[in-house]
Amino acid sequence: MTKAAPDHEELEPQEPDAEELEPQEPDAEELGSQEEPDAAQPDEIDAQMADFAAEFGLSDLPEPEAIEMPETDPEFRAGFACLVGRPNAGKSTLTNALVGTKVAITSMRPQTTRHNVRGVVNLPQAQLVLVDTPGLHRPRTLLGKRLNDMVRETLADVDVVAFCIPADEKIGPGDRFIARDLADLRVPVVAVVTKADKVSKKALAMQLLAVHELGQWAQIVPVSAVGGIQVNTLAEVLSSYLPHGPQLYPTGEITDEPRDVMIAELVREAALEGVRDELPHSLAVVVDEVMDPEVDEGAYKGGGKLQVRVSLVVERDSQKAIIIGKGGSRLKHVGMRSRREIEAYLGRKIYLDLHVRTAKDWQQDPKQLGKLGF
């Protein structure tokens, strides 16, 4: 079958002339004819501002005084120091001694510190921000792994590290493991031999020699937080490695710990007293509610006390029975002790309501860990 020819000739696309493609330059005369408005002169602006001030009654206002920023001492230093070590190495007790007041809870039980605690040390020529960290250990739970990760992330953001090793215990695998980790850091590491008051001078000298052989340290400082031995010396040593710069926190501020976190920690500190075996690891504390009768609607008005409701979380019902105690006696003791600490911290009376609940195997459950702040 023969294809029919089109009735009309197909039009070929026309190439535009070169002249059409070239942009047309405007004539100089056209450019010259576009006059810009005259810019206002400084004298005219001053006159307009004076008229505006007179119209709105602003002419009689005093001239604002110039704000003079205090000059930063070029020799002043400020920065962060991280305290690391295995569990129960005395990091939190030393933090409190350096700051001069309680900012971290302390206990002989393992895993006392579960988050980074910042304490501010104000010295004449430096501001030292201490970061107390959880003890580094071989993790057996997801919680333990997250705590170790938290410590390692902190080490990357500080100016100097204080590696705490107790004087009354022989250097073990945990200390050697941490020492190998710290060897890769690019910041100075000061070895701190804690609990120096618990051993004789001869035993202390032997421990200092063992620490010297453990790794390469910027300095080695023996201290006793309880006895107040060389605490100020350690503060000066750590601050000497800080960079020059202005202070990071206002004068007088000693911590940036959130209120609810501090309340939960004080309750947990009281609850850790007297417990053993796996229970210290299985215990978590969370603040459910804080209501102030002066500002919160629905709060009980009795005595104007701050109403604090706290949950103590364990992993098994058998642990729940231990925390509560016979007839609720142990929970009552926890409430009495922690209430005194919380009232001292807040500076006012509180009504403390404690509850104990079970969250099965929460240390291994990512969702439960998230709910509990981990």
- How many domains does the chain divide into? 2
Residue 263 is part of which domain span? 259-371
pLDDT at res. 353: 94
Select from 239, 272, 298 the last residue of a domain: 239
149 shares a domain with 116: yes
286 shares a domain with 229: no
Does residue 46 belong to any structural domain of this protein?
Answer: no
pLDDT at res. 180: 92
Picking from 324, 330, 352, the residue whose alpha carbon sits closest to that of residue 264 is 352
pLDDT at res. 313: 95
Query: What CATH number is attached to the domain comprising 189?
Result: 3.40.50.300
pLDDT at res. 293: 82
Does residue 18 belong to any structural domain of this protein?
Answer: no
Distance of CA 67 to the CA centre of its chain: 32
Does residue 355 belong to any structural domain of this protein?
Answer: yes
pLDDT at res. 11: 42
pLDDT at res. 53: 61
pLDDT at res. 338: 95
Does residue 348 belong to any structural domain of this protein?
Answer: yes
pLDDT at res. 105: 79
141 shares a domain with 185: yes
Does residue 253 belong to any structural domain of this protein?
Answer: no
Does residue 179 belong to any structural domain of this protein?
Answer: yes
318 shares a domain with 201: no
266 shares a domain with 206: no
282 shares a domain with 213: no
273 shares a domain with 219: no
| Residues lower than pLDDT 50 in the chain | 1-13, 16, 18-21, 23, 28-34, 36, 67-70
Does residue 57 belong to any structural domain of this protein?
Answer: no
288 shares a domain with 151: no
Query: What CATH number is attached to the domain comprising 347?
Result: 3.30.300.20
Q: Which residues pair with 306 in a beta bridge?
A: 350
CB 358 within 8 A of CB 315: yes
Does residue 34 belong to any structural domain of this protein?
Answer: no
